[in-house]
Amino acid sequence: MRIDVISLFPDFIAQCAAFGVTGRAVERGLLSLHAWNPRDHAEGNYRRVDDRPFGGGPGMVMLIDPLRASLAAARADDPAPARVIYLSPQGAPLTQAKARELAGQERLVLLCGRYEGIDERFIEAEVDEELSIGDYVLSGGELAAAVVVDAVARLQDGALNDAESAVQDSFEDGLLDCPHYTRPVEHALGAVPAVLMSGNHAEIARWRRQQSLVRTLQRRPDLLDEAALSKADRKLLDAWRTRQAG
Ligand SMILES: Cc1cccc(C(=O)NCC2(NC(=O)c3cccc4nocc34)CCCC2)c1
């Protein structure tokens, strides 16, 4: 998979992708990352990449032409078709389902805004979809691009070892993760739940699933509505509710 990132801070993304699972995916050739800086494609001796907004108001808007030239350079570098994604607060929420969809693409171009955003005409002409990582104010789209890179990198075949894929699997059915414990068994902060020390793997699996279900019910009931629960799952939730009511 190839990802081109168009950003005024290309090192930012390169650094984010240089560590851990993402860095290893690049090393293994599962993912290639290319950064394009609109400033390198800006005309004139001031190499402007932004300008004042028509209609007045504060802030600046990213100019069309440096963005257009950056996208053209990316396409000239590799003719493979690409999905052009603008990371934007106006975008559709990034979900695991969307990450899985993107991970299956041959190539993505991730466009990062700065200032107040980019000229709407570029979005209408060149952007296939807008994606948001959440409803809060950021200084730029680069952190959002780094989130997309991480989420799709770990979904590439061969990117994860068994331990790492455990985390991936835990969310695959759309539930929150169960609590985790490690040494020591006894600690000033408390003991490890006895079931985890029992060696009864069926019971441990039940307990972990029940914990995921209950935590999802308590903290993110919206996820629970979306999750495909089995009959066994509903029994685990009912058993917990009964114990709570008792
Ligand atoms: C709720 C809200 C309303 C209005 C503006 C902003 C805001 O933060 N505007 C600033 C910019 N924000 C983002 O790029 C950005 C922000 C958040 C999530 C994102 N997911 O992808 C890109 C994202 C847009 C141009 C430069 C940075 C946020």
Catalytic residue among 24, 107, 114, 154: 154
Spatial distance between the Cα atoms of 133 and 143, rounded to a whole number of angstroms: 9
Task: List all residues 6 or more positions away from 186 whose beta carbon is below 8 Å from its beta carbon.
Answer: none
pLDDT at 37: 98
Does the annotation mark 154 as catalytic? yes
Assess whether the C-beta atom of 137 lies below 6 angstroms from ligand 1.
yes
Evaluate: CB of 61 within 6 angstroms of ligand 1.
no
CA of 83 to the centre of ligand 1 (A): 20
| Alpha-carbon span 246 to 243, nearest angstrom | 5
Q: Residue with the nearest Cα to atom 7 of ligand 1? A: 137
Q: Which helix (H) or strand (E) holds 67?
A: helix 64-77
Give the mutation target among 137, 139, 143, 148 for probing the ligand 1 site: most ligand atoms within 8 A of CB. Answer: 137
**Atom 14 of ligand 1: nearest residue by CA position:** 141
> What's the gap in Å between 235 CA and the centre of ligand 1?
42
Cα distance between residue 104 and residue 100, in whole Å: 7
The model carries a pTM of 0.95
pLDDT in tens, the chain (246 residues): 999 999 999 999 899 889 999 999 999 999 999 999 999 999 888 999 999 999 999 999 999 999 999 999 999 999 999 999 999 999 999 999 999 999 999 999 999 999 999 999 999 999 999 999 999 999 999 999 999 999 999 999 999 998 888 777 778 789 999 999 999 999 999 999 999 999 999 999 999 999 999 999 999 999 998 898 999 999 999 999 999 998
Q: How many whole angstroms separate alpha carbon 130 and alpha carbon 100?
A: 16
Q: Is the CB of residue 50 below 6 angstroms from any atom belonging to ligand 1?
A: no
CA distances from 180 to 19, 213, 214 (A): 24, 15, 15
Of the residues 11, 43, 78, 116, which is catalytic?
A: 116
Tell how far the Cα of 140 is from the centroid of ligand 1, in angstroms.
7
